[in-house]
Amino acid sequence: MTDFPNFQWAQVGYALLTLFIVINYGMVMTAVVRKIGARVGGRYGIPVWQNYVDLLKNIALRSKISHGVMYYLGPVFRLTGGVGLLMFVPTIYGSEWHQNFSYAGDLILALYFVFFGTLGMALGAGESGHPHSAIGVSRGLAQVTMAELPLALGVYALSLQYGTLDITKIVAAQQGSIFNWTLFTNPIATVAAMIAFVGTMMRSPFDVAMAPQEIPIGPPTEYHSSYLALMQTNRALFPVAKVVIYMNLFFGGATSWAEFAIKVFCLYMVSVVIGVVHPRFRVEQSIRFFLKWGLPIGVLAILVV
């Protein structure tokens, strides 16, 4: 373990603790968001613990059908994407415990992990043999690929601005005042990245690949019981992990769990609010949107820096 500077075994335990907190936070938060959506529509909505019950029920199902090794690995990859994303990003700045395994070049790795889960899912859904899965996953991949473009450009602009690829250093540079946040020091890159953010959160208007009302819910069509439970866990974890990256890069990071909770919730609500007022885009429409608006803003961000 000499290759990793500053590595201590205790970090593994701390990282697992982070993971545990984030999963539970994600479970409750997605339920609360659904409840808010229901209240907007005049309904009571689901109980806040509903996600746990669903998870438990899926684990408790008695029969499982596997369609092969890749089918089994699909949700595993998906969850790996979420866990990996969280593990290599410092969750709480300045905290010894929740620094996780961040290191000098972790920004590149994080960008990779954002995409990793979708790719794994593509392999798994392909093996499930259901035509809707294959259609859904190809649509999802096309859309996510396009949405990643503005993010990548925004992140390059950021690394040029701060001269580093280390998320911890980027967060450190934003401490002190609210006007040190990238949001104010580099608003164009922030806008570019936020377009990608809304695009990859799998909420309306960019959720055509996964929405239950479309071609039966796309990639997870064949997934059930424990496989689905794994994906549900990821669906709680992954958005939070993704928001953590954005929070660190553009919104000054978090120095305590309370700040973390508030910032993540607010950022998540951005995509929710956009989602409730916009109808769903078709895939080619959203691709055109990202190319037309996201890409030029991203290029502009790099040029300005």
Partner 1 sequence: MKDVDDKFRKNTDPVPMREELKPRSVTTPDGQTIEIEPLRDYFCDARPKVHPKAYSKIVEDFYNWARSNSLWILGFGTGCGAIEMRPLMTPRFDAYRYGIQWRPTPRQASLLVISGYLSVKTLKRAIRAYEQMPQPKYVMGLGSCTINGGMYWDSYNTIKQLDDYLPVDMYVAGCMPRPEALLHGFMELKKRIRSGKAEGANDYAENFDRYKANQKAVIKDWDMPDYNW
Q: How far is the CB of 296 from partner 1 (least distance, A)?
A: 37
What single string gives the DSSP state of each residue in 145-157? HHHHHHHHHHHHH
Spatial distance between the Cα atoms of 115 and 90, rounded to a whole number of angstroms: 19
Among 10, 17, 38, 262, binds partner 1 (CB under 8 A): 38
Q: Select from 36, 54, 80, 166 the one that contacts partner 1 (CB under 8 A).
A: 54
Query: Omega into 205 within 30° of 0, i.e. cis?
Result: yes
Give the nearer residue to partner 1 in terms of CB position, either 58 or 271. Answer: 58
CA 73: distance to chain centroid? 20
Query: From the CB of 236, what's the least distance to partner 1, in Å?
Result: 15
180 and 252 Cβ atoms separated by less than 8 Å: yes
46 lies in the site for partner 1, by CB under 8 A: yes
Specify the residue, 9 or 44, whose C-beta has the smaller distance to partner 1: 44
Q: Which residue number, 65 or 69, has a Cβ lying nearer to partner 1?
A: 65
Query: Quick check: 47 binds partner 1 (CB under 8 A)?
Result: yes
Judge contact between 37 and 247, C-beta under 8 A.
no
Does the footprint of partner 1 cover residue 166 (CB under 8 A)? no
CA atoms of 80 and 84, how far apart (whole Å): 6
- Of residues 60 through 79, those in contact with partner 1 by CB under 8 A are 60-65
Q: Closest CB to partner 1 among 138 and 225?
A: 225
Torsion of CA 27, 29, 34, 37, to 10 degrees: 180
Contact track, partner 1, 75-114, x by CB under 8 A = ----------------------------------------
Q: Quote the tokens at residue 13.
A: 């335990």
Task: List helix spans (H) across the chain.
Answer: 10-40, 50-60, 69-87, 106-127, 131-162, 167-173, 182-185, 187-200, 225-250, 257-277, 283-289, 295-304
Q: How far is the CB of 63 from partner 1 (least distance, A)?
A: 4
With both helix axes pointing from N to C terminus, report the angle between 69-87 and 225-250 in degrees, rounded to the nearest 10: 30
Q: Nearest approach, Cβ of 135 to partner 1 (angstroms)?
A: 14
Number of residues that bind partner 1 (CB under 8 A): 30
**197-216 positions binding partner 1, by CB under 8 A:** 212-213, 216
The distance between the two most distant Cα atoms of the chain, rounded to a whole number of Å, is 58
Could you give the CA distance from residue 223 to residue 267 in angstroms, rounded to a whole number? 30
For the bound state, the minimum distance from the C-beta of residue 28 to partner 1, rounded and expressed in Å, comes to 16
Q: 260 to 299, contacts with partner 1 by CB under 8 A? A: none
Q: Which of residues 207-266 bind partner 1 (CB under 8 A)?
A: 212-213, 216-217, 220-225, 228
Report phi then psi at 25, rounded to 5: -60, -45
Choices 6-14, 58-66, 158-166, 270-278 (CB under 8 A): range interacting with partner 1: 58-66
List contacts with partner 1 (CB under 8 A). 38, 41-47, 50, 53-54, 56-57, 60-65, 212-213, 216-217, 220-225, 228
